[in-house]
Amino acid sequence: MIIWQKRAPIATLSWILSLAALPYIGLIIYYVFGPQKIKRRRMRRVASKLRLTGGLAAAAANDITPPVTAVQMAKLGTATSYLPPASCSRLEILVDGGAAFSAIFTAIEQAEHSVHLEYYIYEPDHIGLALARLLARKAQEGVKVRLLIDALGSKRLGKKFLGPMLNAGVVIAFFHHTTFRKFRPVINMRTHRKIVVCDDRIGFTGGINITDEEDERINPHAYHDLHLLLEGQAVERLQQVFWEDWFYTTGEQRQAAQTLTATPGDQIVQVLQSGPDNELAPIYRTYLATINAAQERVWLTTPYFVPDEAAMTALTSAALRGVDVRVMVPRKSDSRLVTLAARSYFEELTQAGVQVWEYTTRMLHSKTLVVDRSYAMIGTANFDNRSFRLNFEVSVLGYGEYLADRLAIEFEKDLEHCVRVGRPRKISKLEAFGEACARLCSPLL
C-alpha cells in the first residue's frame, strides 16, 4: 500500500522505516495519520459542475490580463488552481485580529443578501460568541448565512453554543467529521481555509481564525497575524472556493450565477486554492516559481517552516545568486516539534546567505511572501508539507507593486521585533539531536 502511493520518495522511506522500527505502533500511526484517499473523482466532478453554474462562467468574458512580465505566472496559477486572475477595486492589509475582526463584523453587519464563512478554528470564546450572535441576528433579518467549519479544528463547538444560531436560521456544516469511519478517522485533509464573503461584494482571507488567541484587544499575548480584505471581481473567486467546499460537504449546489456587477479595479490578483484533491499543488508550485523568478528580494514569513528539498534549493539558490532572501519565523511557535524541525534548516540557509530572523514579541502567525516588487502572496498556507499537500488552503497572489509594497512595509515593521540567527549557531549537542529527530518527522508536519 505504501509503495503504490504517489508521494515523495523521502516520505515513502520515512513511513517504511517507521513501520520497520516500530511495527505495531508504526502501523497504528500510519493508519491514523498516513495518506488518506479523498474522493477525487467526486471533487473534480463537483468543481467542474460548479464552474459551469458558478461565477466563473459568467465572468469568463471579464478575465483580466496580468502585467506582461507575469503572464506565465498567471498561466501557472490558472492551469493548476483553475481560477484565472481578477481585478480588485479595494485591497487592504489588516494587521492583527483587532483590525480584522472589526472589518469582518462591519461587513457582516452591512450584508443584505448572503454571508458565507469557512474557518478551520472557531472557538466558543469571547470573539466566537460575539460572531455567533451577529450571525444569528443577520439570519433572523432574512440574510442567508452559511457557516462551514472544520470538524477537527473547531471540535470544541457543542450543541449549546451552536443551538441559538441554528434556531435563528444559520446553516452550519462541519467539514470532514473526525469520527471513525471503518475504524479510521479523517485526521488529515482538513480545511485550513479562512474565508468570509458578504453579498458577493467584499471578501476576507488570511491567517486569522475565530479565537481570542488572535485578538490583541482581549489577549495581550495574542498571535501576530495578517489578513486581507478584497473588493471587486476577485471576491467571486473566493466565493467559488467556498461553494466548492460547501457543496462537497452538504450537497447544496449553488444557483446559476448572475452577471457580475463588481466594479473593475486597478489591482490584479489571483486566488489560488490547493488541497489533497489536486495533485498539482498550486500554492506550492507558485511559491517555488516566484522564488525562482526573483531578481532582487524574497521575503518570506511563516509560523511553521518545514521545507522540502525543492523549497530549500529554491531559497538557497536565490541567495547564492545575490537575491536578498529573508525568512522570518517565530522564536517559539505553538508547536515545539515544528520549532525544532524549522531550526534544523537554519545552518544550511545561513551558509547560503539567507537571512533567518526569529520574531520574539508574540507568536508570529502570518503567512506572506514578497518577491521583488512583482509578486506578493498572503493566505492560509504555511511553508510546510501539511499546508502544501495535506490540507485545503487558499492564498491570494498579487501582481505588481501595490500588494508587494504593502507587505514589504509590514515585514520591515516586524523586523524591529526580531533577532537574526547567527552563524555558526551556538547550540548544545542535545539541542542538535532534538532538531535532527524533529527533522525526521518533516513529511508528517
- 80 lies in some domain: no
All three cell numbers of 67, joined, read 502585467
b/e 364-379 (16+ beta carbons within 10 angstroms → b):
bbbbbbbbbbbbbbbb
- Clarify whether residues 113 and 191 are in a common domain: yes
- 370 lies in some domain: yes
Range in 129-138, 172-181, 186-195, 238-247 the model is least confident about: 172-181
For residue 176, the model assigns a pLDDT of 85
- Clarify whether residues 315 and 212 are in a common domain: no
* Higher local confidence (pLDDT), 267 or 337: 267
- Clarify whether residues 131 and 236 are in a common domain: yes
192 is catalytic: yes
* Higher local confidence (pLDDT), 258 or 208: 208
Alpha helix positions (H), 1-113: 9-21, 23-33, 40-53, 55-59, 71-81, 96-110
Domain limit, last residue, from 202, 233, 266: 266
Domain limit, last residue, from 215, 240, 266: 266
Residue pair 287/395 in contact by the 8 Å Cβ criterion: no
Nearest alpha carbon to residue 239 among 269, 205, 210:
205
- Clarify whether residues 240 and 303 are in a common domain: no
Tell me what percent of the residues of the chain surpass a pLDDT of 70: 80
Nearest alpha carbon to residue 382 among 297, 301, 312:
301
Residue 257 CB coordination number (10 Å) = 21
Residue pair 392/149 in contact by the 8 Å Cβ criterion: no
Separation of alpha carbons 233 and 309, rounded Å:
37
Residue pair 97/208 in contact by the 8 Å Cβ criterion: yes
- 12 lies in some domain: no
Across the chain, mean pLDDT equals 87
Given the residues 194, 227, 277, 308, the one annotated as active site: 194
Range in 22-31, 95-104, 244-253, 308-317 the model is least confident about: 22-31
For residue 61, the model assigns a pLDDT of 41
Domain limit, last residue, from 266, 294, 311: 266
Burial of 144 (0-12, 13-18, 19+ CB in 10 A): middle
- 20 lies in some domain: no
CATH classification of the domain holding 155: 3.30.870.10
- Clarify whether residues 197 and 319 are in a common domain: no
pLDDT digits (tens, 9 = 90+) for 108-165: 999 999 999 999 999 999 999 999 999 999 999 999 999 999 999 999 999 999 999 9
pLDDT digits (tens, 9 = 90+) for 62-73: 567 788 888 999
- Clarify whether residues 146 and 105 are in a common domain: yes
Given the residues 277, 372, 384, 414, the one annotated as active site: 372
Confidence (pTM): 0.89
Q: What DSSP state is assigned to residue 61?
A: G
Given the residues 126, 144, 155, 199, the one annotated as active site: 199
Given the residues 192, 215, 245, 277, the one annotated as active site: 192
Residue 405 belongs to what domain range? Answer: 282-444
**Range 196-223 average pLDDT:** 97
Given the residues 215, 365, 384, 414, the one annotated as active site: 365
372 is catalytic: yes
For residue 178, the model assigns a pLDDT of 63
For residue 261, the model assigns a pLDDT of 60
Instruction: Give residues with Cβ within 8 angstroms of 2, minimum separation 6.
Output: 12, 15, 16, 19, 30, 34
Confidence class of residue 57 from pLDDT cuts 50, 70 and 90? very low
277 is catalytic: no
Alpha helix positions (H), 148-233: 159-168
Residue 87 clears pLDDT 80, i.e. is over it: yes
Given the residues 116, 245, 367, 384, the one annotated as active site: 367
Confidence class of residue 247 from pLDDT cuts 50, 70 and 90? very high
What DSSP letter does each residue of 234-297 carry, written as one string?
HHHHHHHHHHHHHHHHH-PPPPPPPPP-PPP-SEEEEEEEE-TT-TT-HHHHHHHHHHHH-SSE
Separation of alpha carbons 382 and 150, rounded Å:
17
* Higher local confidence (pLDDT), 28 or 387: 387
Q: Count structural domains, the chain.
A: 2
Confidence class of residue 12 from pLDDT cuts 50, 70 and 90? low
- 16 lies in some domain: no
Separation of alpha carbons 132 and 138, rounded Å:
10
245 is catalytic: no
